[in-house]
Structure formats: C-alpha cells, structure tokens
Structure 1
Amino acid sequence: MEWHFGGWLHGLHPALAWGLLGLVAAVGLGLIALSYQRTLRKLPTRARWGLTMLRTALLAGVLLCLANPVRVEESDREKKSSRKLAVLVDRSASMDAIDNRQETRLGNALRTWRQHIPEAKEKFDQIEYIRFSKKTESLPTLEEAAASNQPGDATHLLDALEQTLSGAPAAIVCLTDGLDTTQKNPSEVTALAQRCGIPLYFVAANNRVRPGEFLNIKEIKSPSQVLRQTRFPAGVIIEAVAARDGEIPVELWSGDQKLSESKLKVRTGWNSIPWTVEVSAEETGPMPLEFRAGSSDRQEFSASTTRVIDKTTVDILYYQGALQWGYRFLLAALQSDPSFKMASILNPALGMKMTAPAQGHAVLNDLPENADDLKSYQIVVLAHAFADQLSAKQQLTLVEYVRAGGGVLFITPDSDASQDFAGTELEEMLPVVFERRSRVSQEDAAARAFQTHMQAIGGARSSDETAFAQGAMSRQEMEPLTPFAALRSSSRARLFAPGPGAPQFSEYAKVLCAKPGAEIIAVHPRDRSPNGSPRVLIARQQFGRGFAAVMTTDLLWRWKLSLPSSARNAETFWQQFMLSLASTPPGQGLRIVRLGESPMLSRPVTVRVEGAANEESPKISATTPRGIALPLIPRGTNTKGAWDVSFTPDQEGRWEITAENGSGDMARISLPVSQHSRTVETVNTPADLEGMRRLAEATGGALIDKESTAFPAPPETRSSERRKTRPLWDESSLLLLLLGFYATELVTRRWYRLL
C-alpha cells in the first residue's frame, strides 16, 4: 500500500510536496493564533483554546482536501489469467492425400506445427488437442489426435470451430486443408469468433498432390404436366469440385432448341449450386428438358420430360360472406370458358343463404365440416368472408383440405374484417399475417355491424347491380383506380405487368406482412407496411401438398365497368389468374436420380426412375462408353410411380442411362464411372487457402507458416488492472466532520457574543 499526493501536489517530489503543505499549514496556524489573541470581548482561556483548536481542525481538513491524497493498493495474487490454446486436427480422408514425395497433407501440417510448439507452450498455459471429421474428440497429445485408423468421409470444419469456440479458449489453431463439406456459411463462425474475441489460426495442410476436379448433376426438377401458353420453373442442382475459383457453363435444351444458358460461379473446393429457369410451355405434347453442365469436352447432362396439355377442368367452390357487385362479373368471366366450373355459396351477413351448384357436384348449403366433401374442387374461394361466419371446425376442414392437395384463395378488401381472422386456424395457413385489432368502442362496433348489414342489402338484387353501380358512379366522385405493382421474382406476376390492359383495383385491405417463404406476386405501388416494405396485395405459398393464396383487393368490378363493353381483359385476367394458381399439378416429370455415392468401377450402381404415372414399368437401358446398349430390369418401390434399377459398370468413362414410359416420355442421365469413388474427400480437392486466410484475418488470427512467429505476445495486464486507487478526501464522513467543526465554532462564537 502506498500514499500519493494528487491535485496541485501531484507529480512533485515527496519532500517538496510535504514542505509546501507544511508552509501552508504554518501560515494558517499563525493567522488562527492572531485571530484569537485579541477579540472584541474577553474570553476565558479554555474557550480561547477551544475555538483555536476548532479552527485548526477545520484548516487541517481543508488542507487534506487540497492535498488530495490517494491510497494505492497492489494485489498480491497473480493477475495473469490462465490462457488455453485449442489445437484442432482434421482427420478426414482428404488429409491422407499423398504427393510424389510420399508426404500426406496431414504430415505437411504436422511438420509445420511442430516448429511452433515451443512458442505455443511459452505463450499459453495449456494446450488442448481435438480431433475432428464429422464429430470432435478431445485427446491428451498431438500424436493421438493425428492418429486415426479410419479417416472420416466428410469434413465438418465449421461445426468443429463452433463447438470449440463454446469452450472459450484464448485462441484456436486448426490443422486442416479448409475443405468443409457441409456447405455452411463461414460468416456465422466469423461473427461468433468476433463476439467471443477468440482469434482463429490455420496451419494449411497442403502438399504437392495433383489437384483433381469433379462435375455432377445431382438432381433435376420439373413438373409432370403444365398448361399450354403458361410458364413453369425447371431447376437443377450441380455438384462441382474446382481446383481454383472460376465459372461453369450451364445450358437448358428442349430438343434442338436452347432455352437458356448461364455461367455459375464456383470457388476452390466443393460446390453445390442450384440453377432454376422459367420455361414457356408452347405447343401441346411431351416437352423434353435437358440440362447440360460443363464445357463440351467434359459435359454432363440430365434430361426429363414435362407434358404440355391444352386444357384442364378447374372446379371452383365460391363462398361469399356478403353480397358484392364483383361476384356477378367474376362468375361471368369464368363461365365464358367451359374449362371452369364454379359452384357458389352466397352467405350474406343478413343470415340468408343462396347456393348455385356446379354440374356434377353435390349441392352444398354451407361450407362443409368434412374435408372429403371438398375433394372434388381444385380451388375454394373465400370472398368477403367474416370470421364469425366460419366455425372453428369449418376452418380446420379448409386446413385439412389444403394440406391434402387443395387450394384456397382468400379475397378481402376490408381491413376490419381481415383483422378478425388474426390468430385463427385460417391465418396459420395463409401466406400473410393480418394486423391485430385494437380495442374499439361500442359505437364503433355498432357502426361496423350497420356497415356490414348495408353491404348485404346493397347487393341483394343482383339483377339491378350493374345499373345501380353505374348510377352511383355517375352521382359521386370516385377514387381513381390503382394498378398493381408486379414483382419480377414471381412467374405469376406477368398477369399484373403494367400495360393498357393491366388490372386495377379501387379498395384494398392492409395486412401486416407476408410470411417467410411466401411467393409475393403483386404489391401496392405506393403504400408501405409498418416495416417499410411495399404493402402486399397478392401472395401465394405452398401448404402441405396444396396451396393457399391471398388477394387483399376488391373483385376488380370497377375496373371491369371502366372498360369498353366489348373488351375481354377482365375475363382473360380471371381465367389466367385461376389457372396460374392451380397450374402446377402434383407430381414430377419423368426423371432419373442417382442413388448413393458416385459410380465406381466394379461396384453396383443404383438409379431411380421417378414420374412414371402409370403402373406399367418403364423401359430402362444403360449405354456403355463404347456405345453398347444394355437393357436393365426395373423393380418396384414403395413410392408410387418410382422404379429402381441396378447395374455394375465394367468400364471406366461416361455411361448413359435412358428411361421411357408407356406415354413416350423419355429421361436420361450421364454417369461418369471411375476406378475410385469421387467425392470431395477423394478427388484431391485443393486446399482452400484463401478461405482459411479470410476467416483467420477476420478474427484477428493468421495463416501459420514455417518461418514467421505464430502468435503475438500475450497482452500485458495494465497498471490500472494491477493497482487499485482510492482517493481519501472524497468521503462523505470527512465532509460531514468538517461541517461539524465549522458549525461548532460558529455556535461557540455566538455563545460568547463574538458574532
């Protein structure tokens, strides 16, 4: 423990500081003695000495405050915290790749790291060794961590780093080639290490082994059938191992016509890249789709077939809570095309029900409470519905109907009515989140009930709807119609693209937001949600095997009335809109999927043919690299429309598997066969040096080589952390004591009438 002067005496030599303080004290004492030697009234000796002592005590306290003494306490215990270094050793199969010097990647990394072990022992108190491939395992020594009888077939590098960071070591060193096979985003590990303040160091496992490359089309996706003159998505997933950063050319062909092409960026190492194309369905019949990846000298392909049909029957059940003028126009638009059959349940708020059954369907007086009664309909439209009109059981029935493959289109331009559906079973299924209703007064509730009542009365006489609407429009100023803002990310948004015949609305409901994963088709051109995003007007999402869609506008009846009587824009829109919602039937186009690892010489290879709609087995054949076709015998599976077939390749090179079903649809896939299985762990994928460097530098670490110092010196404990200081004058008790001395002196002087 030490004593230091502060304030105006801080920094002076102790003798000089004490001398100045003593001089001020002597002068002060002299003045006190003079002040009480002669007074206005004669004082007793005891009183004179008492007052002098009080004034002297007050002076001493003031001098103490001016000197500002500080007590400094040195801690006797060691302030240096225990520093642990975690050393991760990658024991996946890629670390055993041997070069022409008979050195493995692991051996190269160990040789580099052993040169830095003395430095690590000097700067860290403890070293923990951890072996990993898919899982992590703590071991006492480096030799045990490096030893492995059976290397792992995958590298979960980022997972191992996350688990090690949770142990809060002072630093992490990883002996690896940087090839993570999980395809996780490294930014998550970077952010975690930055939050924890733990630097990551890498010893690059890199030798002179010749880097290999690998290209494979893993999966192709296309619908089993689509309508003519519509657009549909077709996609592919490409797996690639690249020796360096670059691009892979990809193409989509239909017969001899190239539909689309692009170049997909790949980084060094393992890549899994999806590519999706919007395809236009033109003429009816089978439409072959073939994806090609890679350059012409080493190109892989996978083909499937999608059938384009001319017409389909769309059965619609229309339920409306309150009669609206738009119903008449929607019904006329759909009835003008024989492909649509619409049954109607009109349930206005007055409590009256009117039904209009469709041909071939049973009469429904209300929404059923059994999902089986809805199976014959492809779409159920809920227009201007109110939450108190649909029982909980009816809503659950709609949910079960959609989950089993049906579709629901919810239409409402009323924000108040939509708020009543917040938190219901129906909202759980829909692609949007409704705004929650705030508390309303009884007067507001009564006004809303009256408005609902009048809405029902206003449309009760359907024969007078058009004349009434036109007369109302001529007698008052109406808000201008608003066009939709279509989103290019949705293939269905083309119906709302700007143009002279684009649909327009007059009223819309405000919903809170779209749910994650929902397909937003159209939004409001100006209005914004509370989160700043455009107000959602039309959205769709998959739910189970079916779909649920929302249209938060009116039925576009004013837009229809604004068009010339001969115009067919509204009819065309409603027909194409309903088809676009239900145009993707369940099922997959005929395709071939490889099962298991990459094909290997003299090892059985199994592929699966999917999308064979009928029960007849498809014809499947394998073509060898020499062009010899070998028939294969398919066997059934537990999945409907899927057949498996196996063969054992006896030649290296590219094999081709072809399948054809009874309808003439064809599919084919290329299978490159090699002597050894080709995976990211076995094709000598080059070490990801740049990826490791970026990760290390972002966390305050570095790539460790043979020459440079691996670790910076441990941070020294600052003097402010080793020494505790406490100012002695800044105490409430001292201040109270000084005030006590001063007050006592004043009272005493008053007593002897010196004041």
Structure 2
Amino acid sequence: MDTVETFTWEFGGPLAGIPVLLAFSLLCLAFIGSLIVVWWSYRNALRQLSLQRRWTLSTLRLLTLATLFFCLANPTRVDRTYLAENESPKAILLIDHSASMTIADNRGRTRLDDAVRTWRTFANQAIDRFGEIITYHFDSDLRNAPRSELYPEQIPGPDDTQLLKALQSIMDTEKPEAIFVITDGLDTNDSQQDEALNSIFQSTVPISFITGENRIAEEKMLTLREFDSPEEVLRDTAFPVRWVIEARLQRNRSLPITLQVDDQTVMTAELSLASGYNLLPLSATVTSGQPGERVLTLTVGDDRESKTFRRIVSVGSQRSTRVLYYQGTPDWGFRFTKDIFAREPSIELTSVFKPTDEMTVISGQDEVDELPEQSQALAGFDVVLLSQVPSRQLTPARQKALQEYVRQGGGLLLLLSDADQAEALRRSTLESILPVFLEDAEPPPNGGDTLRNQMRQLRQTGGGKAIQLHPFSIVESSRYAYIFGNEDREEQVIPCFFTAAPIFRAKAGADILAQDPSEKDSAGRSGILLAIQRFGTGHTAVLATDSLWRWKLAEPSDSKAPEQFWQQLLHTVAGAGMGSDALHFVRLPVEVPVGEPINLKLNAGPDMDDSLEVVATSPEQEDFILTPLEKDNPDVREISWTPKTPGEWTISASTADTKTRQFITVGPPAVPKPDRAHENVDYHLLRSLASATGGDMLEIGSKPGWMNRTDDGPTILDERRIPLWSIWPLFLLATAFYLFELSLRRYWKLL
C-alpha cells in the first residue's frame, strides 16, 4: 500500500460546490471590500489619527479578517492510501472438470474444449484488466490448478459437480475482484443450494461464465427451454415475460412466434434460424389489467410445425404492498407522493413525518412513530421508503436494523435529491447495501450540479415562470425496464425530475434503470437516476431525484402515469415477487417427456398447514393426487410425478386459503442419452448468477462490461480528510490580532 498526502480547498457555506478559482475570486473581492471599509472607518474615526496609527490599526483588522477568510476557504489535507502496483487486484478462473464437461461426444469433442476456445479469446484482455489470474479446478471438490493448467489429468472426470459450493468457497477465502467460471452449470449438490445462492447473491464480486456445447444436431428439434412469468401480479401493472427457444434444424428457416394474453395478441415476430443448433432468449412486456386469471399463450412455429405453451398469471390482490413512508425534513413532495400512494388500492400505506425530534405526524394502520432499531419491527412492511431523513435520525442501530430487514427479504427505497443528502450517508452501514457508491456523489469539477440546482430554485421562486423538468433516460436493457412500460408503446411512462443528486457509479450486480445524460463526471459517466440491487433475499433501490411531485403537477389531470410509475417501482422493490411468500411453483418445467419421473418444487411457506393438496389433471380431465415428499426445508415442498400420456396437463396446488395452477406440456418420449455430456447446459442458472452479481455470459464476439472500463488510476483503499483551519493556533492567532487592535484603540482613546 502507498500513502499519498495532498492539499485541497473545500469551500463551505455559499461557496460550496463552485470552482476553486471562482471561490478565490469572490474571497479576494470580499477582502478588498473589507480593506476599503476598514480604511474608511479609521480615516473617519472619532479622534483624528496619524497616518502611521491608521495603518497599524487597519493592518491588525485586516490580519484578523484574513485569518477568518482562510478558515472559510477550508484548507484540507487529504491522505489517500492506494493499492501498490505490486498488489494489483486478482481474478479467479474456475474450471469445471466433471464428467459433463470432459466426456467427448462421437466427434471426440468435449464441452471443455469449446469453452476453453472461447476463454482464450478473452484471456489476454482479462490479464491486462485484472493482472494476476489464479486458476482452480473443481468437480466434487475444489483444488489449485498446477501451473494454471486448463485440462484435467484424468478424463473423464467424476459425475459429481459442486459449482455453487466452489463459488462460495472462493468468495470466502480469496476475495477476488472478479471470477471467471468455465462450466455448464450442472450442479449435482441439491442439499445446500439455497445457502450457497444466498451467500453468492450477497457478494459484490462479478461472476462471468464461459459455457461450451458438444451435442450433435442429428435430428430436428423445436422446443421451449424456458417460459418465465410471475405467477402473481397486481392489477394494471406491466410485468415481464421471458422465454428461450431451442431448435435444431437441418436447413435455415424462418420461425413465426405469437404471444397472446387470453384471446388478445400482444406480440408477433418472425425469427430467422440458422441450420444447426439455435438458442434464442426473447422477452416481452405485458399489462396485467383487472383482477382475475390471465392465460399467456405462446405459439412457436407455423402450420407445418408448431407448438403451443401456456402459463397462468394471477392478477389481483392476495395482499397489498405494505409501505412505510418515513419523511424527515419538510418537503412539498411528501404530501403529493403520499396522496398518490393513498389513492392506489394495491398499496397499504403507513406514513411518518418527523421534521423535529419533538414533532411526529403519523397516518396509517401501524403504530410506528420512529424508525425501529430492531429489524423485527419492520417485518410487517414490504417496503421502507426513506426521504430526506436527517443523519441524526439514522443512528447506527437503525441502519443495522434496515440492513438486516433487507437481508431477510424486505425492500428499501432511498430518495436522494442532492449531494448533501448523499454525503451524509457516505461510508455508513446503509450505504453498504445500496446499489450505488455515495463516495462519488460529488458535484462535477465545474460545479455544474450545485450551481444548476441553485439556478433552478432561483428561477422557480422568481417571476413565477414555469420551471423546466428533465426527463429520465431509460435504460431499455435493464431487466426492470418494465417499470416504465413497453418501449414500443406510446403509453410508456417517462418520469421527469427537477433536481438530482450527482451519483455516477453503480456497484457490481446493480441494475441501472434510468440515467441523466446531461450530467457527466470527469470520467464521462452519466448520472444515475434510478438503480436497484438485490441484497440477501431483499432488494434496495436509490431514486437520486426529488420525489417527482412537480412531474405530477405538470401532467394532465386525468394522467395516471405518476401513479403507475410509483406502483410499479414499489412493487418491484418489494421483491416483487410477485407473490414471493404466496403459494407458487418454483422453476416449473415447460415441456417434459412422457413416462419419465420429474420433480416439481412448490413454495408453500413455513406456515402452510396440512390442507395442502396437489392435483395433476390429464388432457382427458382425469385427476391424479400428488403427494409432497418429506424434506428438511419447510418452505419448499417437492413432488415426484410421472406423466403417463402426452398433451397439456394442469398442475394445481391449493390450501384452505389459496390456490394456484399452471400448465405443463408433456411431449413424446425422450431419446435415450448415452451419458451426462448430452445434458442441457443450465443457462437459466448461469444467466441468473451473472446478472445478479454484475458479471457476463462470455461468448465469442461479445464485449463484456469489464473490457470497456477505462483505467481510472490506482485503486483507492482509504481516504482521510483533515481540515487544517480547525486548529487552536489559528484561532489563537486571530484572537491575538483582534485583542492587540482593541488594546491600541483603547490606548489611543478610540473606545
């Protein structure tokens, strides 16, 4: 580590945030004005003074003022500790040597061969970016690779693969800056997957995956690998639908697809497929509408060959999104935003307005008058919304409670409208769980943000002229872009803000939903307006703007855009779950072969009683009772089921209070597979891990995010700012000058 000591000026008061040269110019003008006033006052004193006495008294007064102006300039010593060059950050390369990666197909080719070929196209850039790359091998256990070897000594490897356990072990022991994994995602360790996943999701280390294919496309095949949609949504909300088409073709062809909601077509597309193997991830945004069941029907193919798959989405309010809205300092937006929440039936609001320690205004059902210091007191809320809360109210105990609340599945939404609010939370417990870095929340070098906000406020209060609102720049690639609606529809919601906090850098694993391209930092990064990140089993979000109440006033009176935006945002931060604690199926398969046993997973919750009943209904409307298996995890029930006839089956689960059902397509018998080398790569798991941690799926020709990052200089490990004006010798000197002046004035009979 290298420590460097530098010196800077951090002007305070009205000079804060403006360029140093301009601040010094204003101080010089003030000093010259003081010189004129002091000279004039002693020139016109009660008693006539000689020129020498006037100069003596004026000099003493100016020395006192100069000392005070020096304090206003706030000279500061900055001690920065940098990562030394010989301590460059490292990356880890994990290589899967299990049987599925090392068994060759009838062409003599393994998945490891294909993945290594892809890795070698990125290896040099990874070394340039991260420096040292340490290689590990894993299958049933984790071990160091001798001389960074990529291939195993023994082929094929063992059948056992513990991918998640290997990742968890690396994160606990090595603390790397990035992890690259060559694997197919086939983890055979089912017993501790949930624990390992939670540990990985809480880490800030980006994980990138390199996969390989080794299957031979001998026969034609068209199927749906994944069909993901939430099982429960609120009314009048937009929600994402994602699916993955898998096809093997003997020649190029076009493939039409149609997505319907009930009987209404919401999307049609024509896909161009190449001969050979194709894997196409697609998505669409759907509006839920009024309460009830929505049947999503996806038709893949044409009259010659087509398949139809269905999913059910429950629209309603099995329970509302419970929100604790905590407002600190007074703000016009509190009343407007609170009214928006109160008018939305899907939001159950408890608001606390605490402008002073002695005054609290509470509305809602729950008895809450303070931010709790125990996470258990927040368990009754899905989202905690903090707006302009003074730092004195965010005590360490309360921040710790919020951290634990989010870790256990709660949602936290923080509103930051200026740099002062962001600065108050720097390096706090609360900042550690946010999706952005508040250490970078400083005005741009030209002082543009603070000056711009001040000028906006002046224009707002002067002359009654209309203020200018600035629209969000929506990041359409975000997985949460559905919050704003479909980009192809005219009714897309685009919020507009008046002021924003200067935040420019997101953490690994964070998802940026909206930016402000008009504000950039010295590295050219656009300002971040809205970002979301998973922490533990919950979510945290930062809205780095005002509460958008001016946008509400600027909209037509019949517009519901602000209500829709807030409803979608709160529902997403709540874990959206889209019913995460309700009865629902977990990763239900889309199409299964007839006659083969499959395991269904049902999230029943720890409080689910013995009235749970699971029924499989055949295409001939014959019911079969399915019995859940006894497992250690009380939240998840596993059901083993073997479909006897092909066609569309309905799987229903119900208790005394709730019910859910879904469709499963049962296809023809599976073609026998000679070995594990022909099992499908688990792209769903790998994409989820890469997306949640800020990593990438590396493919030849792709450009992952870490390749585009510029070198911002040495990595700062620690920074200490020591003000030089708040020292007793400086105040003693100013006092001495003033006392000496007073003594001379009394001696010369001016007092």
Structure 1-normalised TM-score? 0.52
Q: Which runs of 5+ in 1 are unaligned?
A: 1-87, 98-103, 107-131, 139-144, 157-179, 191-204, 440-447, 449-454, 456-468, 686-693, 696-755
Taking the TM superposition and a 5 Å limit, the aligned residue runs for 1:257-276 are 257-262=264-269, 272-276=279-283
Aligned match of 1:127 = none
What is the deviation of 1:551? 1.4
Please tell me the residue identity of whatever aligns with 1:646.
W
Structure 2 CA distance for aligned equivalents of residues 659 and 381 of structure 1: 38
Q: 1:392-433 CA distances to partner (integer Å, 9 max, x unpaired)?
A: 221121111122222211112121330232332222222222
1:380 corresponds to which residue?
384
1:167 match: none
C-alpha distance in 2 between matches for 1:567 and 1:217: 39
In structure 1, distance between residues paired with 2:221 and 2:409: 39
- Quote the Cα distance in structure 1 between the aligned partners of 2:232 and 2:352: 31
Find the aligned partners of 1:572 and 1:182 in 2 and give their Cα distance. Answer: 38
Structure 2 CA distance, aligned partners of 1:666 and 1:283? 19
Q: Does 2:602 align with 1:610?
A: yes
Q: 2:394 aligns with which of 382, 390, 397?
A: 390
- Whole-Å separation in 2 of the counterparts to 1:399 and 1:245: 53
Provide the residue aligned with 1:491 in structure 2. Answer: 482
Q: Which residue of 2 aligns with 1:669?
A: 664
Match of 2:286 among 279, 283, 297: 279
- Partner of 2:201 in structure 1? none
Deviation digits for residues 111-136 of structure 1, max 9, x if unmatched?
A: xxxxxxxxxxxxxxxxxxxxx99999
The one of 623, 627, 642 equivalent to 1:647 is 642
Q: Distance in 2 between matches of 1:91 and 1:337?
A: 51
Structure-2 residue corresponding to 1:303: 310
Matching residue within 606, 628, 635 for 2:628: 635
Tell me how many residue pairs correspond in the alignment: 483
- For residues 334-378 of structure 1, what are the alpha-carbon distances to aligned partners after superposition, in whole Å with 9 as ceiling and x for unaligned? 334565454344444xx53432333431232x2111111111222
8 Å CA contact retained: 2:592, 2:665: no
In structure 2, distance between residues paired with 1:239 and 1:210: 12
2:431 counterpart of 1:427:
yes
Q: Residue 308 and residue 386 in structure 1: after superposition, are their counterparts in 2 closer, same or farther (change >3 A)?
A: same
Query: Contact (CA 8 Å) 1:225, 1:589: kept in 2 or not?
Result: no
C-alpha contact (below 8 Å) 2:591/2:666 kept by paired residues = no
Q: Deviations over 1:569-603 (max 9, x none)?
A: 766765565456445434388558678997486xx
Tell me whether 1:316 sits opposite 2:323 in the alignment. yes
Please identify, of 558-567 and 506-515, the stretch whose mean Cα deviation from structure 2 is larger: 558-567
User: Is the partner of 2:259 in helix, strand or coil?
Assistant: strand
Q: Distance in 1 between matches of 2:153 and 2:558?
A: 82
**CA distance 1:274–1:499, change in 2 (3 Å):** closer
Could you say what secondary structure the match of 2:368 adopts? coil
CA 1:151–1:273 in 2, change beyond 3 Å: closer, same or farther? farther
The Cα shift of 1:284 comes to: 1.6
> 3-state SS of the aligned residue for 1:211?
coil
Q: 1:239 to 1:360 in 2, by over 3 A?
A: same
Tell me the equivalent position of 2:541. 549
Aligned with 2:236 (options 219, 229, 232): 229
Partner Cα distance (1:406, 1:605) in 2? 36
Shift in CA distance, 413/675, structure 1 to aligned 2, threshold 3 Å: closer
Q: Does 1:418 align with 2:422?
A: yes
Q: CA deviation at 1:605?
A: 1.4
- The residue number in structure 1 matching 2:469 is 481
Q: Which residue of 1 aligns with 2:366?
A: 361
| Aligned match for 1:521, one of 513, 521, 536 | 513
Alpha carbons of structure 1 residues 182 and 296: separation in structure 2 relative to 1, 3 Å: farther
**Residues 244 and 482 of structure 1: is their aligned pair in 2 closer, same or farther, counting only changes over 3 Å?**
same
**2:339 is matched with which residue?**
332
Cross-structure match for 2:32: none
> Secondary structure of 1:536's partner?
strand
1:680–1:281: structure 2 CA closer, same or farther, 3 Å change rule?
farther
Could you tell me the percent identity over the aligned residues? Answer: 25
Change (3 A) 1:560 1:437: closer
- 1:233: Cα distance to partner? 1.2
Unaligned runs of 5+ in 2: 1-96, 110-136, 146-151, 164-182, 187-207, 444-449, 681-698, 701-751
Measure how far apart 1:387 and its partner are. 3.9
Instruction: Specify whether residues 357 and 501 from structure 1 end up closer, same or farther in structure 2 by C-alpha distance, changes over 3 A only.
Output: same
2:224–2:244 contact (8 Å) kept in structure 1: yes
User: Which moves more between the two structures, 408-417 or 638-647?
Assistant: 638-647
- CA-based RMSD: 5.4
CA distance in 2, matches of 1:493, 1:540: 14
Q: CA deviation at 1:506?
A: 2.3
Q: Which moved more, 1:543-552 or 1:382-391?
A: 382-391
**Residues 491 and 427 of structure 1: is their aligned pair in 2 closer, same or farther, counting only changes over 3 Å?**
same
Contact 1:229 1:282 in 2 (8 A): yes
Say whether the 8 Å CA contact 2:419–2:442 is kept in structure 1. no
Which of the numbers 650, 653, 671 marks the counterpart of 1:658? 650
